[in-house]
Amino acid sequence: MNTADPVASSKVPALTNGSGAAAILSAGIGSFALAVLAMAADKSAAITSLLVLYKPTGALSGVTTAAILIWLLTWGVLEGRWRRKTVALGRISFVAFALLGLSFLLTFPPIAGLF
């Protein structure tokens, strides 16, 4: 007697989480890049002048543009590498949220003032 379920035994591709993990981690990296660039622009006149893309907004225009580019490039690279893979989503989420937490701390004036 054959008890195999024909639906369960069909060739269904396994679901992967690589694309979602790429989006999550790249968001953490992008937010951290924003915090580091903002802090660097506040501390260094040379970096500030380098990041001024639009004079009325000052260095903020370059800070946000660079952070968005870092986020998108990171997302693209990770998406290309992880698209068809299953990765350790718990670990990746932890790292992403740790980077987000560090980003919040680095933009908090008493903490940023320490550097």
Q: Total domain count for the chain?
A: 1
Give pLDDT < 70 ranges for the chain: 1-10, 12-13
Residue-level pLDDT at 115 = 79
Residue-level pLDDT at 78 = 98
**Residue 19: which of 99, 76, 94 has the closest Cα?**
76
Is 14 contained in some domain?
Answer: no
Residue-level pLDDT at 82 = 96
Contact assessment for residue 30 and residue 101, using Cβ atoms and an 8 Å cutoff? no
Is 99 contained in some domain?
Answer: yes
**Residue 21: which of 84, 80, 74, 87 has the closest Cα?**
87
Residue 60 sits in which domain range? Answer: 28-110
State the Cα–Cα distance between residues 111 and 21, nearest whole angstrom: 29
Residue-level pLDDT at 31 = 98
Residue-level pLDDT at 5 = 53
